[in-house]
Every structure is written in C-alpha cells, then in structure tokens.
Amino acid sequence: MTDMLPQPGVVFSLATYVLMVAILVVVHEGGHYLAGRLFGCRIDSFAFGFGGEIVGWNDRRGTRWKLNAIPLGGYVKFTGDMNEASQPDPALLALPPAEREQLFVFKPLWQRAIIVAAGPAINFVFAILILAGFYIGLGHPVTPPVATQIMPGSVAAAAGLRPGDRITAVDGVATTRFEDIFNKVMVNAGEPMRLTVARGGATRDVTLVPRVVEEKDRFGNVSRHGRLGLLATGRELVRVGPVAALGLAVRDTWEISASIATTIGQIVTGTRSLSEMGGPIKAGVVTGQQASLGVLAFVAFMAFFSINLGFINLLPIPMLDGGHLLLYAVEAIRRQPIGAKVQEWAFMSGFAALMSLMAVLTWHDLGAVGVFHTLSRWVG
C-alpha cells in the first residue's frame, strides 16, 4: 500500500489556490474583455476579486483595472451595466444614438452572444494549449487496450473476459488506448456500458456494469468511481508534433467535458451524492495537494480546473454566462428583448440558486476537512 503523503499547510494551499484563481479569472474575464473591445464596447472596469478596491489604475481608454478585497473571482463591467451581472441601466434609453452604439446592451444580439461566450471559450482554449504543451514536451500517454490481468471476482471476470482480450470499442466508439476505457469506467459507476472485445480473430459485445468502489488517493481523499477489474500495462509516452498535439488536446478536453456532464447528470438523478462535487474549500485543499507534487502537477490541475470553469459557466443558469446565452436565445426566438422585470427575476433566482448550492457544498467541505469533528471534540 502506498504511504499517505503529508497534507500541505493551510497557507500554502490558500496561496496556490488564490494564484490559480487569479490566473483563471484573468483568462476567463480576458475573453469577455477582448471580445468586447473587438466590437467597440466601452468598458468601465476589469476587476480581480469582489468587494472594496485595494489598488487600481485607469488605462488610456478609461477602463479601471483593480484588485478587490476578496480574491475569489472577478468581472468585466461594461459601461451602462448596473452591476457585475451586466443588467442594463434603464437610464441608457435616454442617451443619443451616437453614445448608445458603444454600449454592450445596444450591440446586435450576435455580438452580445459572442462577447458572453468568449469567457468560457477561452477557458477551453487555455486548457487545450496547456495539454498540447504537455504532449509536445513530455509525450502523449498511450497504453494498448489489451487486458494483461483480470482481477478475480471482478465484473470483468464475471463477464468472461480473459488476459489478452483487446477492447476495440466502448459503447460503439472505437478506441485505441486503454486510457479511454479507464476514463469511461471512472464516471460510469453503476451504469451499464458495452465493450467490443476481440479474441482469436473474432469479436463480441459484452455489457458490463462497473462496480461502485471507494478509494483513497495519496492524500487520503475518498472518491467513488467505477471499476471493472480489468488491468492493462505497457504504457508509453508517445512524442507528437504540434498539430497532432493540438488535435489530441482538443479530443481530451472534449472527453473531460463529457465526463463533467455525465457526473452532473448523475448528481441530478441521485446516482452520485452532491457532496462529490466539492465547493471552494475542497477546491483549495486539492489545489494545495496538487501544487505540493510540483509545478507540472499544479499546471495540469489548472488545465482541468479551467475546463470545469468553462463548462460550469455554460450551464443555462441566470447569473452565469450560459444563463445570458439562454436569454439571448429566447430573445432571438421572440425577435424582441426580454422585459426588464423578467430579466431581474431570472438573475435574482439564479443568484439565489448559486448561493444555496455554494452554501451546501461549503457545508460538505467543512465536514470533509474535519471542522465539525474538531468542534465536537472542543464542545465535548
């Protein structure tokens, strides 16, 4: 059994988490900012963090760049927005046309949609570039999809799989490396999946249901995932060129996004617990753990977190970018803007839902890191 690694200190975890958030906020909000500039929007401020301003400066275009007191997010505030959620100020209707044409709220619908989508999009691009850099510099991990060992009493053993069997497809999708099978199994806990198995010149389809198991990582974090009991060896790091690396990075980013979607779907349907998502405290703990393993592990985790950030922001929840895009889609269908009262209700509802979710996740995080256990000992 692998020895547990020591937990990094609170200060180290907090510092690395703030550093990662700072980078990803600049990336995400930079997407909105650059797209807004592309379409000639006036921008009041580009802020890292929320709350009161600590330090800031104005550029030659009049945009205020500032660092705020709470370093857990950020925003780009376009001229004419009442708040960071980009709700328009009703007073803008009285402005002359020459002034309105530079304001985000009066831009054509397709331009507003691009500006909003640019934030999540650049998160995916950022992750793709990181992964491509890894594949160019270190190689792309490839393990032949051939079973070298079948664990006794496992799901794979019960299905009649044997060492030497080659898995050629998963759920009808061809595969050339074991990593693709492993990733699929990890998120398919308790869900049936179909493997196409080649043996002795013949192929057959086998339907299996990965067993749900709980495991601890090197830091003692417990996770639930699927297991077939099918092992493969012979992993190699294959050197690839820039074009191939980009293609592989795009594919892997897509597959990670699909895994996130599957996991969220399982949480919604009750297959997985909401506590498995993790909140800001758990994210900070895991960030510190990954950073303690070295710069490469930290950068790789940042790429994964960037994909999560891009995906979550595309969910059709008001207050998130996906919520804005949903309202724009309704506006396109209706061929007229949505009423201010409806937008206000939608954003307030979205805000309440997000705050409730964050409260629940933070509560689970506090339990996971042992805060309640410590408090009970103090009280007892």
Q: What DSSP string runs through 90-111?
A: GGGGGS-HHHHTTSGGGS-HHH
Given 213, 238, 263, the domain boundary residue is 238
Give the model's pLDDT for residue 8: 82
Given 205, 222, 238, the domain boundary residue is 238
3-state secondary structure of 74: strand
Q: Distance between CA atoms of 105 and 134, rounded to whole angstroms?
A: 40
Return the CATH number at 222: 2.30.42.10
Give the model's pLDDT for residue 372: 43
Q: Which residues, 6 or more positions from 352, have their beta carbon under 8 angstroms from its beta carbon? A: none
Residues 111 and 198 occupy one common structural domain: no
Residues 14 and 34 occupy one common structural domain: yes
Residues 121 and 216 occupy one common structural domain: no
Taking each continuous run of H as one helix and of E as one strand, the counts in the chain are 11, 12
Is 168 a member of any domain?
Answer: yes
Query: In the chain, which residues have pLDDT < 70?
Result: 1-4, 82-94, 217, 220, 273-276, 340, 360-380
Q: Distance between CA atoms of 135 and 119, rounded to whole angstroms?
A: 25
User: By C-alpha distance, which of 130, 120, 121, 123 is closest to 246?
Assistant: 130
Residues 133 and 222 occupy one common structural domain: no
Residues 118 and 146 occupy one common structural domain: no
Count of structural domains within the chain: 2
Give the model's pLDDT for residue 94: 67
Is 293 a member of any domain?
Answer: no
Give the DSSP H or E segment for 173.
strand 173-174
Residues 111 and 125 occupy one common structural domain: yes
Q: Which residues, 6 or more positions from 54, have their beta carbon under 8 angstroms from its beta carbon? A: 66, 67, 68, 69
Residues 230 and 116 occupy one common structural domain: no
The 10s digit of each residue's pLDDT in 280-320 is 788 888 899 899 999 999 999 999 999 999 999 998 887 78
Is 4 a member of any domain?
Answer: no
Residues 232 and 151 occupy one common structural domain: yes
Residues 231 and 324 occupy one common structural domain: no
Q: Distance between CA atoms of 366 and 40, rounded to whole angstroms?
A: 45
Structural domain of residue 160, as residue ranges? 140-238
- 260-273 CB burial, b ≥16 within 10 A, e <16: bebbeebeeeebbe
Residues 228 and 312 occupy one common structural domain: no
Residues 29 and 144 occupy one common structural domain: no
Give the model's pLDDT for residue 20: 92
**Separation of first and last alpha carbons in the chain:** 35
Q: Are strands 211-216 and 222-227 parallel, antiparallel or unpaired?
A: antiparallel
Give the model's pLDDT for residue 245: 95
Is 95 a member of any domain?
Answer: no
Is 225 a member of any domain?
Answer: yes
Is 121 a member of any domain?
Answer: yes
Q: What is the dihedral of CA 10, 13, 19, 23, to 10 degrees?
A: -140
Q: Give the residue numbers marked as catalytic.
A: 29
Given 221, 238, 255, the domain boundary residue is 238
Written as one letter, the residue type at 67 is: L
Residues 151 and 199 occupy one common structural domain: yes
* 8-state DSSP, 276: G
Is 247 a member of any domain?
Answer: no
Is 249 a member of any domain?
Answer: no
